[in-house]
Chain A
Amino acid sequence: MKNPQRSPTNPGSVRSRFTQVFLQSLLRIRKHSPASSSSSSSLGEFLKRCHRVKVAAYVSMARAAGTRRAWSRAMLWRVRHDAHRHRLLQGRCSRSSSRERSPGKKKRRTKKKKKRRDDQEHGFGNAEKLQKLVPGGEAMDFSCLLDETAHYIKCLVTQVKVMRSIADFYSL
């Protein structure tokens, strides 16, 4: 049986690149996490590691997708920017950094209001919501947004599949 689109066997595909980079990130996270048994680590440590895993997953996928895509560029930029801002805030005040660090990575940039004109001409208010979901979406026009969304969804599905198979493998 052959599934040409489901399980590509060429090593240069997005899926295998993502797998390699993500597994390396997981190894690195495990080396840097302090406690080895789950009972002794505190909730804060667990949440921090959880967040690191999630960011690593998104960054690995953006890297595997390459910089030719606007959404992957936007995601890498956002992660780098958030990490830098987090480091700046950590130096000043530790209380406010827990508020800034939202793990969902939903930054609100509502500066670009004039793109709404194109959307409402086609009658889609939903395009705004889509713009917020796709990284870098607020800067795209409608056709770009649809194109990037399609690729983003494909990569997200791959990411979920690989993460699930890693988790299943580890939990056996």
Chain B
Amino acid sequence: MSNRRSSVMQSGTPSRITDDQMIELISKLRQLLPEISHSRSDKVSASKVLQETCSYIRSLHRQVDDLSERLSQLLSTVDADSAEAAIIRSLIT
């Protein structure tokens, strides 16, 4: 393994990043993705990881949309003021 860790994050010079750094970043991303679609480790190509990342972000956005729709429906029906204090306490502690 070559240690070609040149500092590429210097400001002003858009130089290429090394392969090692890229592998590290891609594997960090891979760990965040849901495990269902990955059957083999170390054999997934980087562009596949990017594709899955895109679809994962899109599905998260859709979930936020659905949840905010649900929440705005619920907001109109709930009128208990003590509920919020209970929620805050239960979610934070």
Contact = CB atoms under 8 A, between A and B. Distances in A.
B46 A38 contact: no
A143 B21 contact: yes
Contacts of A53: 68-69, 71-72, 75
Interface residues of B, number: 47
Contacts of A143: 8-9, 17, 21-22, 25
B58 interface: yes
Interface residues of A, number: 61
B43 interface: no
A146 B29 contact: yes
A153 B57 contact: yes
Contact of A157 (B53, B60, B68): B60
Contact of A29 (B50, B57, B75): B75
Given A9-B93, A35-B76, A169-B87, A164 B60 contact: no
B28 A150 contact: yes
Contacts of B9: 143
Nearest to B63: A160
B51 interface: yes
Main secondary structure of the interface of B (DSSP, over half): helix
B50 A150 contact: no
Interface in B43-93: 46-47, 50-51, 53-54, 56-58, 60-61, 63-65, 67-79, 83-84, 87-88, 90-93
Interface string B17-30: 10001100110110
Interface of B: 8-9, 14, 16-17, 21-22, 25-26, 28-29, 32, 46-47, 50-51, 53-54, 56-58, 60-61, 63-65, 67-79, 83-84, 87-88, 90-93
Interface of A: 9, 11, 16, 19-20, 23, 26-27, 29-30, 33, 35-38, 41, 46, 49-50, 52-54, 57-58, 103-104, 118, 121-127, 129-130, 133-134, 141-143, 146-147, 149-150, 152-154, 156-157, 159-160, 162-167, 169-171
